[in-house]
Structure 1
Amino acid sequence: MITKTVVIKNSIGLHARPAALFVRTCSKYRSEIFVEKDGNKVNAKSIMGIMSLGVCPDEEIKIIVDGIDEDVAMKDIVDLVENKLDQL
């Protein structure tokens, strides 16, 4: 299991389209993936779970990945958050 804390840098947080892209990215992997914010932990492959966190710009989330492809999954998810979400 690996964990990493990242800051959501895009201008609208993890709402609507960015949340959908985040969930699609996580769903590509066999590992279990969770997102934690303010003590609330949700399945990162669930759009309703991600939306329920209400992640706004400049807030931190913890990404937790556990499974066979955890290293590549974490790399892809962090790249998405840090470099691609603000292109939407």
Structure 2
Amino acid sequence: MLSKKLTIMNPSGLHLRPAGILSQTAMKFKSDTTIECGEKKITAKSVLNVMAAGIKCGTEITLICEGPDEEEALKTISEAIENGLGE
């Protein structure tokens, strides 16, 4: 299991478009990907769960990847978040 703390930089938070990109990126990997935001634990592969979490700009999250390709998953998903998820 690998984890990394990240800050959401999208001006509108994780609304439909960035949540969709995040989920699509997570689905490329076999590893389970979880986002911890405060007390919430969100499955990153579910766009509805990511959107429902209501993660706003400036929120610190912990990205957790666990599985056979966890290193590559953590690196790729982290980079996508750091680059603004297409925004």
TM-score normalised to structure 1 length: 0.93
Aligned residues: 87
What is the root-mean-square deviation of aligned Cα atoms in Å?
A: 1.0
Map Cα deviations across residues 46-86 of structure 1 (whole Å, 9 max, x no partner).
Answer: 1111112101101111111000000000000110011142x
SS in 1 for 2:45: coil
1:2-81 pair list within 5 angstroms: 2-81=2-81
4+ residue segments displaced more than 3 Å: none
SS in 2 for 1:55: coil
Shift of 1:16: 0.8
Shift of 1:3: 0.8
Q: How much identity, in percent, do the aligned residues show?
A: 37
Structure 1 unaligned runs (5+)?
A: none
Structure that is richer in helix per residue: 1
